[in-house]
Amino acid sequence: MTQETEAAPGAAIPEPSRCGFVAIVGAPNAGKSTLLNRLTGAKLSIVSPKAQTTRFRVLGILLRGAAQILLVDTPGIFRPRRKLDRAMVAAAWTGAEDADLALMLVDARAGVTDEVRGIIARLAETKRRAWLVLNKVDIVPPEKLLPLTATLNALAPFEETFMVSAANGDGLDRLLDRLATALPEGPHLYPDDDLTDLTDRLLAAEIVREQIFMQTHEEVPYGTTVETESWQEKPDGSVRVEATIYVARAGQKAILIGQGGSRVREIGAKARQQLTTLLERPVHLFLNVKERPGWDEERARLRAIGLDDPGA
């Protein structure tokens, strides 16, 4: 028996290795984090029905053919007021400017808002490659999509347009296929089986914050930050996590704690369940609530969640 070693004439030439950063940018609530999670098949970035959920860049690493796609979820871009807000928006723009390609994600139901116009105008100024991605097409009548696409494409020279649903996955295969061939040729920057650069400590704090966004309302979630204080691996394979929830005002602390501690208990219970699944081991979660007026202007608090001081 002979073994064939030479490629037969006409055999496919192997795809070149590709790698690049793809930033997902857009207005708050467009579905950026949902898209990151859906594309990576992992829960890396927290999601809530409220605007301004994401506060810092979250990297998701995925493979498609010979391409390593480095997807970067960013905070929604809005008019910032507090130092926290400015740092969030600065992180979003840094994400877009550092990327090889930006995906401008637009909530198709919300349409062309002033916020969306403003972001597209600035994106065009950066002269980065940008693709337009209309999201939430599952809840928009199809006849609205073409006029919307036309209006948005008149605002900036998007190279390509996609219509997707991050919620049900529609249109995402095509998007990934196009991404896999559009990135620059080059070696993969991360190990192929890595999923993110997020640490478990930061993930734990985020999962608690997600529950605060789900379970409290009005200004409470915005007046809150979460930091993991201690992380102890136990000999029985479980992990003991202690986190502090900082709130800006006494009233917010009372709401977070709830009657007889019921709210913070429920936040802890749901977050613990999620973390047990994500970390694939038993988790013991302890939450402290501390009042700390002005935490959202405090450098140390912003640094704790990986935000640089944007100055001014």
Ligand X SMILES: Nc1nc2c(ncn2[C@@H]2O[C@H](COP(=O)(O)OP(=O)(O)OP(=O)(O)O)[C@@H](O)[C@H]2O)c(=O)[nH]1
Q: Enumerate binding residues for ligand X (CB under 6 A).
A: 26, 28-34, 47-49, 51-54, 75-76, 135-136, 138-139, 165-167
Q: How would DSSP label each residue in 211-273?
A: HHHHH--TTTGGGEEEEEEEEEE-TTS-EEEEEEEEESSHHHHHHHH-GGGHHHHHHHHHHHH
Number of chain positions touching Mg ion (CB under 5 A): 4
Closest to Mg ion by CB, 33 vs 228, is 33
- Kindly give the pairing relationship between strand 239-247 and strand 283-291: parallel
State the residue number with the nearest CB to ligand X: 76
* Member of 40, 48, 52, 54 binding Mg ion (CB under 5 A): 54
> Residue 134 gets which letter from DSSP?
E
Closest to ligand X by CB, 53 vs 224, is 53
d(CA 114, CA 123): 14
Q: Which does 252 bind (CB under 5 to 8 A by kind): ligand X, Mg ion, none?
A: none
Closest to Mg ion by CB, 206 vs 289, is 206
Instruction: Please name the residues in contact with 221: beta carbons below 8 A apart, sequence gap of 6 or more.
Output: 48, 50, 209, 212, 213
Q: Which does 22 bind (CB under 5 to 8 A by kind): Mg ion, ligand X, none?
A: none
**Choices 47-55, 117-125, 190-198, 271-279 (CB under 5 A): range interacting with Mg ion:** 47-55
Phi and psi, residue 209, nearest 5° = -65, -35
Report CA 29 to chain centroid distance, whole Å: 11
Q: Does 33 bind Mg ion (CB under 5 A)?
A: yes
Q: Does 74 bind Mg ion (CB under 5 A)?
A: no
Instruction: Give the nearest distance from C-beta 6 to ligand X in angstroms.
Output: 48
Closest to ligand X by CB, 37 vs 68, is 37
**Choices 53-61, 113-121, 155-163, 264-272 (CB under 5 A): range interacting with Mg ion:** 53-61
Instruction: Give the nearest distance from C-beta 53 to ligand X in angstroms.
Output: 4
Instruction: Give the nearest distance from C-beta 113 to Mg ion in angstroms.
Output: 17
Please compute, for residue 200, the number of CA atoms within 13 A of its CA located in the half-sphere on the CB side: 17
Closest to ligand X by CB, 119 vs 256, is 119
Q: Does 149 bind Mg ion (CB under 5 A)?
A: no
Instruction: Give the nearest distance from C-beta 83 to ligand X in angstroms.
Output: 18
Instruction: Give the nearest distance from C-beta 167 to ligand X in angstroms.
Output: 3
Q: Does 48 bind Mg ion (CB under 5 A)?
A: no
- Kindly give the pairing relationship between strand 18-26 and strand 283-291: unpaired
Closest to Mg ion by CB, 36 vs 239, is 36
If we measure between CA atoms, which residue out of 97, 17, 56 comes closest to residue 225?
56
Beta carbons of 225 and 246 less than 8 angstroms apart: yes
Which pair of tokens denotes residue 74?
């960013």
Beta carbons of 38 and 166 less than 8 angstroms apart: yes
Instruction: Give the nearest distance from C-beta 140 to Mg ion in angstroms.
Output: 20
If we measure between CA atoms, which residue out of 46, 47, 74 comes closest to residue 59?
74
Closest to ligand X by CB, 47 vs 116, is 47
Residues that bind Mg ion (CB under 5 A): 32-33, 53-54
